[in-house]
Amino acid sequence: MVRVYRPYSNWFYLPTALIYGVLFLVPTFASLYFSLTRWSLFESKFIGFDNFKLFFQEPALVKGFTNTLIYAVVTSGSKVVLGLLLAVLLTSQIVARGYLRSVVFFPVLVSTIGIGLTFTVLMNPERGLINGALSVIGIDGPGWLTDPKWALLSVAAVDVWKGVGLATLIYIAGIVSIPREYVEAARVDGAGSWETFRRIVLPLSRPATVTVIILSLIGGLRSFDLIWAMTRGGPGFTSDVIASVIYKQYQAGFYGLSTAGNVVLFVVVTAVVLPLSWFLNRREVEL
């Protein structure tokens, strides 16, 4: 027998597999069981689908579910549109391009809680800078975070403010990888700015669009810290999302219900992201 020498040892997977398996996979599978129980961390009592029934009957929890979808779609959509516009602007021959790129990107790296608290002050209905500026031009700004109609959207706006730099960066990487010949050929054929954008830049930055949509949807659906820093789900529960419901139920000691929230979030993220990425990547091949 010749002993086969294997330079690429499977042992290299071992530490990763241990940490990832024990701290990520085991809890994920355990959550499927514990979501069906009333649970005190020491003992659990099987109660079937009661937690899930509660989740979809209690108005506060249902609100969290719909808010999660609204929040994810609004932030993701805005990041795609604004990110693309900013990227086109910041790849053009514009003055102070480096400064603009830096200033748009920097909020991505700053503490989410810090930004949340800062904007909570800026959005103060009576004394905040935003309403102060609006009143100068004669607009009576709403109570951004205190009015139930506006609270969720205000947080979403801050999320876009903080996150659009990443979307822009991804689009810039996509746009600069478009071969110049394509644009030159289009110009020779008489295409104007809009035509060039519509026929060349937009379709060829499709991989960037896919990345931005998927990343921002995953981030938006799971989002917790910004909402917690700015409204704690309030006023009432009007800006709660699934992730903040999970934390509230955990704090209240309803571990089974909290875990059910986790399973719901898991299902929502998978049900939204997997078909979408499959669909977006398939169209890409056909083009």
Partner 1 sequence: MSTAELVNHRPGRKLALSAVAIVASVVVFLVPFAFIVLTAVKDRQQSALLDFSWPHQFRFVQNFIEVVEARDYMLVIAFINSTILTVASVTGMVVLAAMAGFVLQRRKSRWNPFINFLVLAGLIIPPAVVPTIWVLQQFGLFRTMPGLILIEIAYGLSFCILLFRAFVSTIPRELDEAAIIDGAGPLRLFFGVIFPLLRSVVVTVVVVQSVAVFNDFVNPLYFLPGDKNATVQLTLYNFSSQYSTQYNLLFMNILLITIPPLIMFLFFNRQIVAGMTSGAVKG
- Asked if 47 is part of the footprint of partner 1 (rule: CB under 8 A), the reply reads no
First to last CA, the chain: 52
Distance in Å, CB of 217 to partner 1, minimum: 10
Among 36, 151, 201, 245, binds partner 1 (CB under 8 A): 201
Among 30, 60, 81, 139, binds partner 1 (CB under 8 A): 30
- Asked if 52 is part of the footprint of partner 1 (rule: CB under 8 A), the reply reads no
Distance in Å, CB of 131 to partner 1, minimum: 11
DSSP 159-183: HHHHHHHHHHHHHHHHHHTS-HHHH
- Asked if 3 is part of the footprint of partner 1 (rule: CB under 8 A), the reply reads no
In sequence order, the β-bridge partners of residue 46 are 37
- Asked if 271 is part of the footprint of partner 1 (rule: CB under 8 A), the reply reads no
Minimal CA–CA distance to 202: which of 159, 171, 233, 241? 171
Task: HSE, CB side, 13 Å, CA atoms: give it for residue 202.
Answer: 10
Question: Alpha-carbon distance 86 to 104, whole Å?
Answer: 9
Signed CA dihedral, 211, 215, 216, 221: sign only: positive
Residue list 139-168, contact with partner 1 (CB under 8 A): 161, 166
Among 46, 56, 106, 278, binds partner 1 (CB under 8 A): 106
Among 1, 2, 4, 10, binds partner 1 (CB under 8 A): 10
- Asked if 137 is part of the footprint of partner 1 (rule: CB under 8 A), the reply reads no
Distance in Å, CB of 53 to partner 1, minimum: 19
Among 52, 73, 146, 224, binds partner 1 (CB under 8 A): 224
What letter does residue 201 receive in the DSSP assignment?
Answer: I
- Asked if 81 is part of the footprint of partner 1 (rule: CB under 8 A), the reply reads no
Q: Count of residues binding partner 1 (CB under 8 A)?
A: 108
Burial 2-21 (b: 16+ CB within 10 A, else e): eeeeeeeeeeeeeeeeeeee
Distance of CA 75 to CAs 11, 124, 167, 181, Å?
42, 22, 11, 34
The window from 54-62, 69-77, 143-151, 250-258 that contacts partner 1 (CB under 8 A) reads 250-258
